[in-house]
Structure formats: structure tokens, C-alpha cells
């Protein structure tokens, strides 16, 4: 059967499955809509958390980033897994014992303040919207490359699917569709990884394959060979990074702490029956996530080796089919600077900026012509990092059904995360802003309706951002972590571990962390990107890692302010005592 | 404050201290495996080879993740034991 037909079948079947699950698990009450009734099995919740967590960025972009960053890519591997240790040890069991619906619920109650709740909602919305825009870009890429539909319709279809199961099913619908999506995405990720590892090294298990010898008779280990091939061409060695140690340290820490502070991840632990289940569930979640993460590093290394050896010094006329496929989608470009018809792949940008293709004009070898000004280095090849995972099956010449599977997996990853984000946005509006702050007399039915309307509105905004991505979207997506690290994480941790922390301290800390981190990112990424070089950075920390300083600032400001103001009332002391012991957790109910 | 309540408070405080001690140990290992072996001591560790990987590189891209998994498993078991000891668990 033709690959294109297979893709339609795989994607169509997976969508049908998600909708069927959504119809079967409709939410009837606010408890079901916000926390799936609070009775989700810890293993099931772990799997749903893994799908919720692993976004288009994890599935589509991460291995590609690692392929081109080498050792520096470790920040994502450690950063996006180590956060689960913090989550399990410092947050999840206590928040479950607290037993409410949302993250602002905890902050508003613990700090006995509507203002603290509203500040938490503000942080949550900033974090979640920057994050969701990236998911929509992932949906757009998969649709335009694999389904041959314009990005507009791709995003509209994706939004329609999410609408059905997020708006109808709420947390309950999302939980069970996420379990299905996890199975699709992990299978889709592992199958090509096993094939590629086996082809290159003879060992099908990627983490072992990367430690093996290349089976080309050279007797060299994969990493040795990769270092040699890359340094021969003038690239940095794969196992050696180019970022400074302090920057690697801070980015990793910001990603870890940010992971533990992401509302759509935290809220998943509100859905299990009791505090000890929240701990167990975090362990299961990390296990399901680790399957993909210990595979991503090897996939990146294999892809880099494959790509370099296939493309470099190959005549464009002999370029493999995938090369021209992705060139047709604007994500690969070749500019024949020395006019020899052969592609030279070297360090540096082949030309200035992102490729702008001349309409329908082709060069002497048949390549698409570019309007960009060439640079004066020897590199002739432009490749978008995002395509490595998607192109991998084609680069490794795997059968059509594997390509179809990867398309379905990429969509599962993007849709599951988008749904989780939409839910926390809508519940923070309907529950925290309406029910708990501005319209306390709203009925449960009214609150449920408001939650659905808010989810619909959030889907429309997210869809708009996916179809017409403003330039800043791609730039700021990664910063959701820094903002979460600098705002919500310290407020929650101090709320559990410090009895002295009060309303004034927490609010000042969150606002201080938010304003500092946002301004630093805005200054270097949006106001004047030309200033974004190491010499200008505070302590040599890039905007990606600055959330760590924001977090330190948050803690410092909060502790100072709380030391100078009145301590929290007696009943808050009792609340803290209560959440610290696991016994007696209750299913959240409507008040 | 009457007597039983005071005993209760003491009991809780001892439980909380045991918990914090466990957290301290586990988070130290968490830090050493990732930020230590994977970042700060990586240049030193890279001179050793581990199954075809430079050791520091292995910790950064593989080993730290395995350590994280073990840490959560140990925490789940050890915490349960502490709660049973202080009779504060949530077993049915």
C-alpha cells in the first residue's frame, strides 16, 4: 500500500479512538471535569501524566535538538526528567492531601488571600499559553508534511478533536484519551529507534546501541566515530558542548524546577485517590517518560551520524528522496555556493536567516533557489532541527507503515499536551476567577458551563496562534519553564515546608520572580536580540536558564518580606499540619 | 494546651523530622548524579569509558535518568515505612 494511504489510515484510526473514548467518558460534574472524580488508578495516572507531559517538543523536536547540540542537549534529558524527583518528594503527596481542584486553589487557601490566588492565576495563564502555542506549531508541521493539507486546515482539524474530548470530557475524558495517546506515541517513537539502532550497530536497544561499535567494519564506537566525522568537518566534538558550565547548570536546574512547577503536570496528581498514590504515580509517570528520554539521546546521535554521512559530499542529483521531500516543505535548503553540484555540510549558517524560497525557480542541479544572502563560510546545507525525528524513518529507509506510525505519534504527543493545558486554563478561569473570587454564588451547573466556555475560548486562541504564529511564539515557548520555576514552584514549596511564610511574602515573591524573569527574557529575546550574547548576560546565564535566578529572587524576597510582616493566622498552621500527614485524604467536592 | 494534644504535636514533629532527613539524603543523591556527575565533574569523568560512552557524558544523557527512577522508588518505600512507624499512613 502507498505510504500516503497508510498515513491517512493510521491518523484516522487514532483520531477515531480518541473520540470514542471521549464519548464514553463524558464529565457530568465539576469534580469529574476538574479532577476526573479523584479516583484514577496511580498507574493509569502515571501514563496519562507521561502523555500530558511529553509534548510536540519532546516527541518531534528534542532528539533533533540533541543531534545538533551533542553534549549540550543533555540539559533537556536531565532537566525534563529530574523535575519528577522534585515533584514526587516535595509537591505531589502534599497537594493531593490538600485535596482541591487547581494550583491557584492551594496558593489562595494556604496564603488566605484572593490576591495571591489571582496572582497565581496570572502566572498560570502566562505559562500555559506560551506552552500551548508550541503544540499548535507541532500539529501544523505534522499535518502539512504528512497529510498534505494546508496548515490552516491541519490546525482546525486538530482543534476540533481536542474540542470534542477536552470540552465534553474535561479531566475525565482527557485522562483516558491520554492513556491511549501515550501508547500510540511511545510505540511510534520506539519502533524506528529500534530499527535505526539495529541497522547502525547490530544492537536493537538504543541505549546499548549508542555504547556499541558501528557495524561498518571500522571497529570504532558510535560516539568515537561521530566525534571523528564531525571534527573532521570542523564541527565541535559531539560529546563536548559549547555552552559554558554555569549556563548548562542553570538551564538544567530551570527546566527541572520548572517541570515541577507546571500547573498542567501538578494538577494530574489531584486525580488519584490518596497522598501515597500521588507519590507512586509520580514514579510511574517518570518510568513511562524515561522510556522515551533514554531513547532520545541515542536517536539524536544516530540521526546526526546518518544525516552527515548521507548528505555531505553527495551530488544534489543523487540526493535521497526525503531530502527533496523536506526541501519542498521549506525545512531543508541547499545553496550551491561553489557551484559544483555537490552538497557540502559544514559548521555555520549556509545563508542569513530562515530560508526564503524564490517562487518556482530552480537552480542548475534542480534545487529550489533562495533569496537569502549567502554567508562566506563553506556550509551549503540548511536543516531545520525539528525534522530529525520525523525524517528519521525516511533517512533510515524504513517501511511506509513506520512513517505513518510516526505521523500518528507526533499528533498524539501534541494533542495530549494541548488538551492538558487547555484544561488548566479553563479551570483557572471558571473555578479560581469566577467561583472563588468574583462570582462565589455561581451554581455547580453554571460553573461547569463556564468551564466549557472558557475551554472553547482557549482553544480558539490557541488555534489562532497555531495558524498565524506571531514571530515571538517560537521564541518564548521554552521560557514557560523559567517562569514556572520563578513563580509557582517557590510559592508551593514554601507553603508546605514553611509554617512562617505568609500572604505578603508569597505575593511579593511571586511578583518579583515573574517581573524579573519576564523582563530578562523580553529584553534579550524581543527588545533587542542582537544583545543576546554571553558577554551581556547576568553571571553568564542565558535567558533559557535565568528562571533559576528568578527562583532565588522569589525565595529571597518572600523570606525577607514575611520576616517583616505578621505571621499567618492559627488555622493556617493547622492546615499545614494536616497536609503534611497522609492520613485522611478526601475526594474534592463542591463547596 | 492539654496533654494528649501536646503528645500529638510531638509525635507529628518527630514524623516530620524523619521525613526531612529522608528528603535530605535523597535530594543530595539527586544533585550528585545530575549536577555533579553530569555537569560539574563531567570533564573529569569523561576520561573514563563506560560501555562505549565517556562516563560523564553517560551520566548526563543516561545515568542520571536511571538514578532518578531509583530515587522515587526508594522514596515511595521508605516514606511508607516512616508513616507506618508513626501510624500516620493512609492505607485502607
CA geometry: angle A451, A503, A458, nearest 5 deg:
20
* A325 within a domain of the structure (yes/no): no
Q: Which residue has the higher pLDDT, A170 or A477?
A: A170
What string of H, E and C letters represents the secondary structure of B29-68?
HHHHHHHHHHHHCHHHHCCCEECCEEHHHHHHHHHHHHHH
Looking at the structure, tell me whether residues A126 and A268 fall in a common domain: yes
Looking at the structure, tell me whether residues A280 and A247 fall in a common domain: yes
Task: Among A12-21, A74-83, A84-93, A490-499, name the one with the lowest average pLDDT.
Answer: A12-21
Residue of chain A whose Cα is closest to the Cα of B40: A245
B71 interfaces chain A, CB cutoff of 8 Å: yes
Burial of A389 (0-12, 13-18, 19+ CB in 10 A): buried
Number of domains present in the structure of chain A: 2
Q: Which of A354, A383, A412 is the last residue of a domain?
A: A383
Determine the average pLDDT of the residues in A471-476.
Answer: 57
C-alpha B75/C-alpha B25 separation (Å) is 10
Q: Which residue has the higher pLDDT, A279 or A462?
A: A279
* A589 within a domain of the structure (yes/no): no
Looking at the structure, tell me whether residues A415 and A352 fall in a common domain: no
Looking at the structure, tell me whether residues A211 and A353 fall in a common domain: no
- Whole-model pTM: value is 0.90
pLDDT tens, A319-355? 888 888 888 877 888 988 888 888 999 988 888 877 8
| B34/A82 touch (CB, cutoff 8 Å), yes or no | yes
Q: Rounded to the nearest 10 degrees, how much is the dihedral formed by the CA atoms of A448, A452, A453, A458?
A: 140
| B46/A239 touch (CB, cutoff 8 Å), yes or no | yes
C-alpha A262/C-alpha A80 separation (Å) is 11
C-alpha A235/C-alpha A440 separation (Å) is 61
Shortest alpha-carbon distance between residue A272 and chain B (Å)? 13
C-alpha A240/C-alpha A419 separation (Å) is 38
Contacts with A28 (C-beta within 8 Å, 6 or more apart), sequence order: none
Looking at the structure, tell me whether residues A461 and A343 fall in a common domain: no
Contacts of A239 in chain B (CB under 8 A): 46, 54, 57
Residue A590 above 50 pLDDT?
Answer: no
CA geometry: angle A118, A119, A124, nearest 5 deg:
95
Q: Of A77, A85, A581, which has the smallest distance from its Cβ to B61's Cβ?
A: A77
* A591 within a domain of the structure (yes/no): no
A141 falls in which pLDDT band (50, 70, 90)? confident
Shortest alpha-carbon distance between residue A294 and chain B (Å)? 6
Q: Determine the pLDDT at residue A471.
A: 57
* A320 within a domain of the structure (yes/no): no
Looking at the structure, tell me whether residues A99 and A150 fall in a common domain: yes
- How close are the terminal C-alpha atoms of chain A, in Å? 57
Q: What is the CATH number of the domain that holds A290?
A: 1.20.1730.10
What string of H, E and C letters represents the secondary structure of A72-85?
HHHHHHHHHHHHHH
| B89/A90 touch (CB, cutoff 8 Å), yes or no | no
Q: Which of A204-213, A286-295, A317-326 has the highest mean pLDDT?
A: A286-295
pLDDT tens, A225-277? 888 888 888 888 888 878 888 889 999 999 999 999 999 899 888 888 888 88
Best mutation target, B20, B52, B70, B85, to test chain A (most A CBs within 10 A): B52
Determine the average pLDDT of the residues in A28-41.
Answer: 79
Looking at the structure, tell me whether residues A241 and A365 fall in a common domain: no
Burial of B3 (0-12, 13-18, 19+ CB in 10 A): exposed
Q: Which of A356, A383, A410 is the last residue of a domain?
A: A383
B1 falls in which pLDDT band (50, 70, 90)? very low
Q: Kindly give the interhelix angle for A547-564 and A488-497, rounded to the nearest 10 degrees.
A: 40
Looking at the structure, tell me whether residues A234 and A352 fall in a common domain: no
Q: Determine the pLDDT at residue A5.
A: 87
Q: Which of A343, A359, A383 is the last residue of a domain?
A: A383
Shortest alpha-carbon distance between residue A295 and chain B (Å)? 9
Q: Which residue has the higher pLDDT, A175 or A534?
A: A175
* A389 within a domain of the structure (yes/no): no
B90 interfaces chain A, CB cutoff of 8 Å: yes
Looking at the structure, tell me whether residues A523 and A476 fall in a common domain: yes
Average pLDDT, chain A: 86
Contacts with A566 (C-beta within 8 Å, 6 or more apart), sequence order: A502
| Beta strand B53-54 pairing with A357-362 | unpaired
Looking at the structure, tell me whether residues A91 and A155 fall in a common domain: yes
Which domain range does residue A370 map to?
332-383
Residue of chain B whose Cα is closest to the Cα of A300: B61
Looking at the structure, tell me whether residues A92 and A174 fall in a common domain: yes
* A587 within a domain of the structure (yes/no): no
Contacts of A294 in chain B (CB under 8 A): 62, 65-66
Residue of chain B whose Cα is closest to the Cα of A209: B52
- Do the beta carbons of residue A285 and residue A271 sit within 8 Å? no
Residue A577 above 80 pLDDT?
Answer: yes
- Do the beta carbons of residue A585 and residue A96 sit within 8 Å? yes
Q: Determine the pLDDT at residue A591.
A: 44
- Do the beta carbons of residue A130 and residue A479 sit within 8 Å? yes
Looking at the structure, tell me whether residues A378 and A434 fall in a common domain: no
Amino acid at each position: 500500500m502507498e505510504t500516503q494511504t497508510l498515513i491517512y489510515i493510521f491518523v484516522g484510526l487514532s483520531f477515531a479512538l480518541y473520540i470514542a473514548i471521549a464519548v464514553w467518558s463524558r464529565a457530568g460534574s465539576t469534580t469529574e471535569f476538574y479532577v476526573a472524580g479523584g479516583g484514577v488508578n496511580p498507574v493509569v495516572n502515571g501514563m496519562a501524566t507521561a502523555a500530558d507531559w511529553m509534548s510536540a517538543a519532546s516527541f518531534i523536536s528534542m532528539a533533533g535538538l540533541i543531534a545538533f547540540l551533542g553534549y549540550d542537549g543533555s540539559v533537556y534529558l536531565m532537566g525534563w526528567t529530574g523535575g519528577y524527583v522534585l515533584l514526587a518528594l516535595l509537591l505531589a503527596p502534599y497537594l493531593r492531601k490538600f485535596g482541591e481542584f487547581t494550583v491557584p486553589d492551594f496558593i489562595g487557601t494556604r496564603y488566605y488571600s484572593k490576591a495571591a490566588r489571582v496572582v497565581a492565576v496570572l502566572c498560570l495563564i502566562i505559562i500555559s499559553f506560551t506552552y500551548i502555542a508550541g503544540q499548535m506549531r507541532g500539529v501544523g508541521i505534522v499535518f502539512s508534511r504528512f497529510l498534505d493539507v494546508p496548515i490552516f486546515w491541519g490546525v482546525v482539524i486538530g482543534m476540533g478533536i481536542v474540542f470534542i474530548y477536552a470540552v465534553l470530557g474535561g479531566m475525565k475524558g482527557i485522562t483516558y484519551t491520554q492513556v491511549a495517546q501515550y501508547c500510540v506515541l511511545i510505540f511510534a517513537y520506539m519502533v524506528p529507534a529500534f530499527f535505526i539502532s539495529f541497522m547502525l550497530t547490530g544492537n536493537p536497544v538504543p541505549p546499548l546501541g549508542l555504547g556499541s561499535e558501528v557495524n561498518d567494519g571500522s571497529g570504532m564506537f558510535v560516539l568515537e566515530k561521530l566525534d571523528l566525522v564531525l571534527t573532521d568537518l570542523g564541527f565541535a566534538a559531539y560529546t563536548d558542548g559549547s555552552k559554558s558550565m554555569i549556563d548548562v547548570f542553570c538551564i538544567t536546574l530551570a527546566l527541572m524546577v520548572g517541570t515541577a512547577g507546571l500547573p498542567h503536570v501538578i494538577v494530574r496528581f489531584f486525580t488519584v485517590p490518596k497522598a501515597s498514590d500521588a507519590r507512586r504515580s509520580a514514579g510511574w509517570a517518570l518510568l513511562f517518560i524515561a522510556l522515551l528520554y533514554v531513547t532520545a539521546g541515542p536517536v539524536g546521535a544516530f540521526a546526526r551520524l546518518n544525516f552527515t554521512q548521507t548528505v555531505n559530499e553527495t551530488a544534489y542529483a543523487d540526493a535521497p528522496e526525503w531530502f527533496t521531500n523536506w526541501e519542498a516543505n521549506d525545512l531543508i535548503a541547499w545553496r550551491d555556493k561553489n557551484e559544483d553540484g555537490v552538497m557540502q555540510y559544514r559548521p555555520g549558517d549556509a545563508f542569513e536567516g530562515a530560508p526564503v524560497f524564490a517562487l518556482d525557480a530552480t537552480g542548475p542541479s534542480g534545487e529550489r533557489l533562495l533569496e537569502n544572502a549567502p554567508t562566506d563560510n563553506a556550509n551549503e546545507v540548511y536543516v531545520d532541527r525539528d525534522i530529525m525525528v520525523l525524517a528519521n524513518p525516511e533517512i533510515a529507509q524504513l517501511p511506509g507503515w513506520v512513517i505513518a506510525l510516526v505521523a500518528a505519534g507526533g499528533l498524539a504527543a501534541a494533542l495530549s499536551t494541548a488538551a492538558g493545558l487547555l484544561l488548566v486554563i479553563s479551570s483557572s478561569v471558571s473555578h479560581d476567577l469566577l467561583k472563588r473570587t468574583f462570582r462565589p454564588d455561581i451554581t455547580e451547573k453554571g460553573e461547569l458551563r463556564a468551564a466549557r466556555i472558557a475551554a472553547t475560548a482557549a482553544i480558539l486562541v490557541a488555534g489562532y496562534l497555531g495558524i498565524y504564529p506571531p514571530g515571538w511564539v517560537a521564541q518564548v515557548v521554552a521560557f514557560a519553564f523559567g517562569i514556572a520555576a520563578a513563580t509557582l514552584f517557590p510559592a508551593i514549596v514554601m507553603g508546605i515546608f514553611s509554617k512562617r511564610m505568609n500572604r505578603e511574602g508569597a505575593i511579593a515573591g511571586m511578583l518579583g520572580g515573574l517581573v524579573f524573569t519576564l523582563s530578562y527574557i523580553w529584553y534579550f529575546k524581543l527588545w533587542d536580540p542582537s544583545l543576546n550574547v554571553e558577554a551581556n548576560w547576568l553571571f553568564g546565564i542565558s535567558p533559557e536558564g535565568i528562571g533559576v535566578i528568578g527562583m532565588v529572587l522569589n525565595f529571597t524576597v518572600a523570606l525577607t518580606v514575611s520576616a517583616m510582616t505578621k505571621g499567618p493566622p492559627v488555622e493556617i498552621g493547622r492546615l499545614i499540619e494536616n497536609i503534611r500527614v497522609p492520613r485522611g485524604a478526601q475526594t474534592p467536592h463542591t463547596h | 494546651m492539654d496533654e494528649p494534644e501536646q503528645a500529638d504535636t510531638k509525635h507529628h514533629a518527630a514524623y516530620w523530622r524523619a521525613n526531612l532527613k529522608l528528603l535530605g539524603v535523597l535530594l543530595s543523591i539527586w544533585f550528585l548524579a545530575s549536577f555533579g556527575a553530569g555537569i560539574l565533574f563531567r570533564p573529569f569523568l569523561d576520561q573514563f569509558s563506560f560501555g562505549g560512552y565517556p562516563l560523564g557524558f553517560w551520566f548526563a544523557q543516561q545515568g542520571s535518568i536511571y538514578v532518578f527512577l531509583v530515587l522515587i522508588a526508594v522514596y515511595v518505600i521508605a516514606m511508607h515505612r516512616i508513616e507506618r512507624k508513626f501510624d500516620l499512613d493512609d492505607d485502607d
